Structure 1
Amino acid sequence: DPAGGTNQVVQAIKQGFAELWAGTTVSTLAGDAVPRIPLAAGSTQMSVRVYSPDAGIPVRLKVEDASNAAISVETEATTAAVNTWEILVFDFANQAAGTAPFDEANTYDKVSIFFNFGTTGADAGEKTYYFDDVAVVP
């Protein structure tokens, strides 16, 4: 934990040669999967605690069907803090432009996070981000 805590968090380094869509997939099961994410029509938000070296950068969260990459939904939130923990809320009812809409009939059991989405590592320079506590907002 960069803030000095003893808890375990995920460190994601977007290297200087990274593509604009470079990200990190979180998995606890085979096939890059997690247990089914319980999103529904009345519950379309997830939260992630993030630590970023820059404020004002887009962070994209994508959930998809681990067995069918054609089924996914993506949304974004923007960091407001520098080098401190903050909680970003992602609402899949407001999908990112050019991505599929949320469909509660789909299975979503894979999650990926993309820091400074849309900017290459060459443009931003190598950056280290941290995240923790990925959860569905009740």
Structure 2
Amino acid sequence: MKNILLALGVISVLGACAHHDDVRPNSDNQHYVIIKASDRGEGIKEALNQATHFCKQDKQSMYVINESVTYQGELDEKTFLNDKSTAQMISEAGTWLWILGDGYVDDAGAIASLAGASAEHSLGKPYLVNVSFRCDS
């Protein structure tokens, strides 16, 4: 079981190496990135990283023209954030039980860890991040 989680962790890290897949170039040097994210701050960070990488490939600097974040979830935002927080706590507590537990406790911890992660994933990515930017020397 621990090998499965290790493999999933490696896959997610490698998946994070996609440098600017969401950049939409434009001929007038006003490009944009649109990302769906499960966290407002992480979504903005990812969009800005992709925009920066896009410009750096031509040895240019990235300048933000406009950025916006819109919540588009099925639940209201407060409920979404509460549910996400609960799922994260369950996952973290389960992980600690899994690591530190002995006998049956580590099995229960593994189940709780996976259940929390699954619950968090099922909440989806309700934030739509849109960053307009340009590249200049």
Structure whose alpha-carbon radius of gyration is higher: 2
**Is this a same-fold pair by TM over 0.5?**
no
Higher strand share: 1
* TM-score between the two structures when normalised by the length of structure 1: 0.30
Structure with more contact order per residue of length (Cα contacts < 8 Å, sep ≥ 6): 1
